Structure 1
Amino acid sequence: MNSGPNEARSPSRRPRAVVLIGPQGSGKSTLFEALLAAAGSPPGRRNGDARQRAMGTEARLGHCTFMGDAWALLDCPGSVEFAQEQAAALAVADLALIVCEPDPGRAATLAPAFHALEAAGLPAMVFVNKADTLGETHVRDTLAALQAHSRRPLVLRQVPIREGGEVTGYVDLVSERAYRWRRGAPSDLIRIPEQMMAREAEARAALAEALADHDDSLLEMVVEDTVPTPDDLYRPMHADVVAGALDPVLIGAAERRHGVLRLWKALRHDVPGPEVTAARRGIAQEGEALAQVFRTLHAGHGGKLSFARIWRGAVKDGATLGGGRIGGITRYMGGEAAKVPEAGMGEVVALGRLESAATGDVLSPSGSAPTLPFPAAPQPVFALAIATEDRKDDVRLSGALARLAEEDPSISVIHDAEAGQILLAGQGDLHLGHAVARLAEAHGVRVATSRPRIAFKETIRHPARHHARHRRQTGGHGQFADVTLEVAPRTRGDGFVFEDRIVGGAIPRKFIPAVGEAAEEAARRGPLGNPVVDVQVTLLDGAFHSVDSSDMAFATATRMAMQEALSKAEPVVLEPVDQVTVLVPQDGTAAAQRLLTGRRGQILGYAEKPDWPGWDEVQALVPESELHDLIIELRSQTMGLGTYTRRFDHLAETRAR
């Protein structure tokens, strides 16, 4: 393929990092493989387990060289359930390559990605994949649908050529060159078809106008109706991409290798170097070596791997970094893991056996490294109770869970002492299914899963009083205690309280603490089998024996009185109710409200989410027992986009569905 003006020039000779992101089904991983193949680096076997790579549940790293420049490509999972992998990779990238299908109806699936990139100020390009399937759809319709979800201008860099109702190539608007695709081979340079002239001129004028917004000399040309040269467009486009001022849009078909070389040349020209990215993140170029860990992997016999971007200086195998000694530096070049003695500024590599390094850590030889922003893990939206299939694995489970959570910060391990369960919490059923499989395959611990128990409580509706006497006579001292207790409801959330109203010494003061402790203990399991909350227990009267009374006797009498009094006070079950905030595209708002009300939810209101055009937040109060699989149904009704956050709000009497 012939090169256009300036395409032989690269803005940085240091290794650059590009992250591929996009929804499932967009062909993102196919493009990843195509880019590596076009750079002469066959896919082969890359880091991570083959089955999980096929499922698209793990990020993949590939190294290659294109036209003399070194690159690291990161292919992120497309499922929203693995968004943390994507967010972590973006934190160390120079540019994000957004991959999408030419279907305007699926444009909303890119909204979270656009928002994340805009918030981070990260440069981006858009690659409309599967352009050979456009049919009657116009790429400008796809562009308009995408623009509705992006605050940055999206500008066409290429327009498709149609022949016989099929897309067979494209016109590059900057170089004004036309190409016809050839499967598995470089495209043919052709003359711009006559019927494309008007459309090409219109699209090129729109590109020039968008670039002129930030370039005075180009603005003057546009105002004076002067046709800009390719160089007049290359210069401001590079500046705008690096600044995150706009996202150029290219087209192709990765499966057929169409448009891949042209994409490579656009990346080579416009992706900023690591020194530019470091400056944007506030990292000075003077000083000791600096690396940031963005992913952790426990690789069995290979030990712990810390995938990191080198932001400054160079790191050598065996050197001290972040308080640990590097036990191997790995690149993934030519389809194979290759050990290298050193990694320099800009490289993305796996550092071996840094046991104390965690995902997000910034490492330096002295251990005195600056703190750099790193995405926080999202709140869990799905949980499973887990238990080992073989009790002999109980001892190993704790360590395996710790390693699992270290690999994936969006996994939470919760020890629910009240329910007597270990909970694995994450971003959905696929996410936790992958976690359970990894526990077995990578950490050697097989677990069974079940639905978590809900922490039901109970309380009473009316006051009740009961008198209980405990008397037992055996050889020697016997046991004697007599108490009269009253239980009464308190305001929700006020908790348990014990009050002593004994007068006249009916019960000696030394026995009163035993009564209070026994009453509180008895409230831990009420007549309906749940902990009793929001009650007041009052000791009204009693009797004692100078010889046979004791703390133990009064505790026994108190438990007897509590059991009967609570049973007579009309006990009711309380369930936890959470305040839920659901985030959905606006065309899914009505469906989300129906879903919540169908789960006994009380809608509190909804409004457009600030800085998220086209998205709503729905507020509701929903019983916790209805939230277990809410995320599954919510995503099924919103193209996988809906999500929610929750926090405990109050306890309420259970209501039948």
Structure 2
Amino acid sequence: MTCEHPAGPRSIALVGPQGAGKSTLFDALMAAAGEPVRRPRADRGEARGEARSEIRLGHCAFMGERWSILDCAGSIEFAFETEAALTAVDLAVVVVEPSAARLGALEPLMRSLEAHRLPHLVFVNKIDQLDGSFDALLHALQGASARRIAPRQLPMRAGDAVIGYVDVVTGRAFRYGERDAAQPIELPEALRDDERKAHEELTEALADQDDALLEKILEDVEPGADELYAHISKDQSGDQIVEALIGQANRGHGVFRLWKALRHDAPPAAETARRRGLAGEGEGQPDEAPAVQIFKTAQGGRLCFGRVWRGVLRDGATLGQVGAGQGGGAGQVRVGGLYRFAGADQTRASEAQAGEVVALGRLEGVGAGDLLGGLAQDAAPFPRPPEPVYELAVAPKDRKDDVKLSTALTKLAQDDPSLSVEHRPETGETVMRGQGELHLSAAIERLAAVHNVEVAVATPSIAYKETIRRAVSQHGRLKRQTGGHGQFADVKIEVEPRPRGVGFAFLDKTVGGSVPKNFIPAVREAAEEAMRKGPLGYPVVDVAVTLVDGGFHSVDSSDMAFRAATKAAVAEALAKADPVLLEPVDHVVVSAPNAFTAAVQKLLSGRRGQIMGYHEKPGWPGWDDVEALAPEAELHDLIMELRSDTMGLGAYKRRFDHLSEARR
């Protein structure tokens, strides 16, 4: 069947909490469009790391219209990848389970959708497992959304089983059959009052956005179904309301009805381009220059996923590049292949039209967020990667893989900007930093499966320091005669503590040439070198070394002799000066709903945290920011316990604050 008013290719994203059934719905949508998909297979190396975190892209045509569908990971640890994908679509389908108790975790996602003004609807999956009343579910949904939730369907039950649905607009009832073959039946008498109430609430929600419709309602004029459908389409595509539909994706129930809603209510790509500031002057013209934004790279940058916003993109085209994203450079790139994912496998395409999401091959130096074609650098803002909250030290199991590991880690970080890698000279470790245990686990699996590098992991070492608590005077003397020129140096030093954070200082207070000026630099260098490892085995900080006197020999004294005498004197002085271990302390800000504020404070206190206070999170009514000072040694797995204590909603940021004496 051909659509009466084709909107051109459109793109949607399936988002929502982990376990809601997004991948199952993806498969069902593709199957309903005649494009059954093949799931990743472990025996082909397709299900290690990639399957848990990678976005799936599918292309299909439904009733004469072409669609790109993105199946996004549900774990909060891959939220950046999801947010990046949302920049490339016209509408998001928020897939949820029918449990009111689990819907609180939706709030950050709904806030992100609202901030981007991205139209979105809700698909309540697994409706046969409805936990409690549907009214309670809708109430919980409304609590997570700043937009008005507009239910389009009511579940129809027989005992505890959901056997069909009632269309809220028309009042017609449908019984589920095999593979979404829903059959119309007479509306059960027990549901008439519920349907009438839902119809009135839907009409009122639409009237909030239209004065003419409100006037009709006030005059007791009942709008017709076609009029309501038109208002729903306008308000949904304009991000004024959020439709809520129900179904059971694994049986195909509700999938055809969802497709119909997408066809009528998802805005066309041209409208989305205007909203994002990407519409060109010659919009819709056949010769309009192609423009693309990359939102994800894969396979070490060899494959780039992007949305075509304007024109027709052809294989082999050369595009100007603006480094607004992770690629960082300006210049020109040549498209070395266009790929769609229709059905079971990847297929090569000769061209892609505006509105399509496609994979582009062999784009050198291109990263997520980069704009290709005639786009201004300040167009299409792209999300910034979140700060890391979990880290692991990694090392190759085979030492011959050192260089190979370094290259592989660079490619992983290129494909995933929310993953970072750094070498820490203080501990000598290579540290992988990301969004949680699952995030880093998937990255480690990709190292093995894609880059053939096996790694050992460990908790990163803490960069402890040490200092002293009292001043000490020390005499250092070197006298050695072995034939010919000997070695002689004599130094008298004072070692004393300095205020925390001011660092090392060297002072020369000698008089009368007791230590010639040409040897003073050697004394200074030796004192600094002695600070690299103190009596407790760690670098020494916040110490002043003062050279107060000394002696020399006109023949046997040398830079080397004064270095040796000074190092020995400083080492002895530090050991006598009441050395103490210092640990890094971070300033931590934990964000969570205020219902969990007490739990957050208890969690931080239990990790030797000093609570500094809490206040409402700016722009997040009902949320608090709890500030604390906590030792870095206590924060390694904080994110896991925090998410466990806050239903997955808690998040935190941290930065180094100061060094403090370690508690024994």
Structure 1 residue runs of 4+, over 4 Å off?
7-10, 45-49, 52-55, 366-371
Q: Which of 583, 592, 599 is equivalent to 2:600?
A: 592
What letter corresponds to residue 163 of structure 1 in structure 2? Answer: A
Determine the structure 1 residue equivalent to 2:541: 533
Determine the structure 1 residue equivalent to 2:56: 60
Distance in 1, matches of 2:464 and 2:234, equals 59
What letter corresponds to residue 416 of structure 1 in structure 2? Answer: R
Distance in 2, matches of 1:389 and 1:56, equals 24
CA displacement at 1:217 relative to structure 2? 1.6
Q: Which of 310, 326, 339 is equivalent to 1:330?
A: 339
What letter corresponds to residue 201 of structure 1 in structure 2? Answer: R
Aligned identity (percent) is 54
What letter corresponds to residue 298 of structure 2 in structure 1? Answer: L
CA displacement at 1:636 relative to structure 2? 2.0
Distance in 2, matches of 1:325 and 1:49, equals 30
Distance in 2, matches of 1:49 and 1:130, equals 30
Report which stretch shifted further, 47-56 or 379-388: 47-56
Question: For the Cα contact (< 8 Å) 1:126–1:249, is it kept in 2?
Answer: yes
Distance in 2, matches of 1:176 and 1:612, equals 38
Question: For the Cα contact (< 8 Å) 1:467–1:484, is it kept in 2?
Answer: yes
1:236 paired to 2:237? no
Q: Equivalent residue of 1:50, what SS? A: coil
CA displacement at 1:167 relative to structure 2? 1.8
Determine the structure 1 residue equivalent to 2:349: 340
Q: Which of 237, 247, 251 is equivalent to 2:242?
A: 247
CA displacement at 1:440 relative to structure 2? 1.1
Question: For the Cα contact (< 8 Å) 2:278–2:375, is it kept in 1?
Answer: no
Q: Equivalent residue of 1:121, what SS? A: coil
Determine the structure 1 residue equivalent to 2:328: none
CA displacement at 1:259 relative to structure 2? 0.8
Q: Equivalent residue of 1:147, what SS? A: helix
Determine the structure 1 residue equivalent to 2:10: 16
Q: Equivalent residue of 1:545, what SS? A: coil
CA displacement at 1:40 relative to structure 2? 1.1
1:409-448 pair list within 5 angstroms? 409-448=417-456
Distance in 1, matches of 2:200 and 2:151, equals 11
1:143 paired to 2:138? yes
TM-score if structure 1 supplies the norm length? Answer: 0.95
Q: Which of 203, 219, 232 is equivalent to 1:208?
A: 203
1:184-583 pair list within 5 angstroms? 184-285=179-280, 286=282, 288-298=289-299, 304-321=302-319, 322=321, 323-364=332-373, 371-583=379-591
Unaligned runs of 5+ in 1: none
Determine the structure 2 residue equivalent to 1:133: 129
Determine the structure 2 residue equivalent to 1:79: 75
Report which stretch shifted further, 646-655 or 254-263: 254-263
Q: Which of 144, 147, 153 is equivalent to 1:152?
A: 147
Distance in 1, matches of 2:182 and 2:622, equals 39
Determine the structure 1 residue equivalent to 2:285: none
Unaligned runs of 5+ in 2: 283-287, 322-331
Count matched residues.
Answer: 645
Distance in 2, matches of 1:184 and 1:143, equals 26
Distance in 2, matches of 1:68 and 1:195, equals 39
Q: Equivalent residue of 1:398, what SS? A: helix
CA displacement at 1:193 relative to structure 2? 2.0
Question: For the Cα contact (< 8 Å) 1:53–1:60, is it kept in 2?
Answer: no
Question: For the Cα contact (< 8 Å) 1:13–1:69, is it kept in 2?
Answer: yes
Q: Equivalent residue of 1:197, what SS? A: helix
What letter corresponds to residue 549 of structure 2 in structure 1? Answer: D
Determine the structure 2 residue equivalent to 1:97: 93
Distance in 2, matches of 1:54 and 1:427, equals 16
1:621 paired to 2:623? no
The change in CA–CA distance for 1:54 and 1:117 in structure 2 (over 3 A counts) is: same
What letter corresponds to residue 133 of structure 1 in structure 2? Answer: Q
CA displacement at 1:49 relative to structure 2? 6.0
Deviations 1:456-510 (A, max 9, x none): 0011111111001011111211111101111111111111110110111111111
Distance in 1, matches of 2:50 and 2:17, equals 15
What letter corresponds to residue 62 of structure 1 in structure 2? Answer: G
Q: Which of 159, 162, 165 is equivalent to 1:164?
A: 159
Question: For the Cα contact (< 8 Å) 2:49–2:443, is it kept in 1?
Answer: no
Distance in 2, matches of 1:139 and 1:554, equals 84
The change in CA–CA distance for 1:134 and 1:349 in structure 2 (over 3 A counts) is: same
Q: What's the Cα RMSD here?
A: 1.9
Distance in 1, matches of 2:103 and 2:640, equals 21
CA displacement at 1:607 relative to structure 2? 2.4
CA displacement at 1:587 relative to structure 2? 2.8
Distance in 2, matches of 1:449 and 1:30, equals 34
Distance in 2, matches of 1:434 and 1:334, equals 26
CA displacement at 1:8 relative to structure 2? 5.9
TM-score if structure 2 supplies the norm length? Answer: 0.94
Distance in 1, matches of 2:64 and 2:166, equals 26
CA displacement at 1:83 relative to structure 2? 0.8
Q: Which of 18, 21, 27 is equivalent to 1:27?
A: 21
What letter corresponds to residue 289 of structure 1 in structure 2? Answer: P
Q: Equivalent residue of 1:84, what SS? A: helix
Deviations 1:31-82 (A, max 9, x none): 1111111111101257996314885322111111111111111111111111
1:30-41 pair list within 5 angstroms? 30-41=24-35
What letter corresponds to residue 536 of structure 1 in structure 2? Answer: A
Distance in 2, matches of 1:98 and 1:537, equals 64
Q: Equivalent residue of 2:447, what SS? A: helix
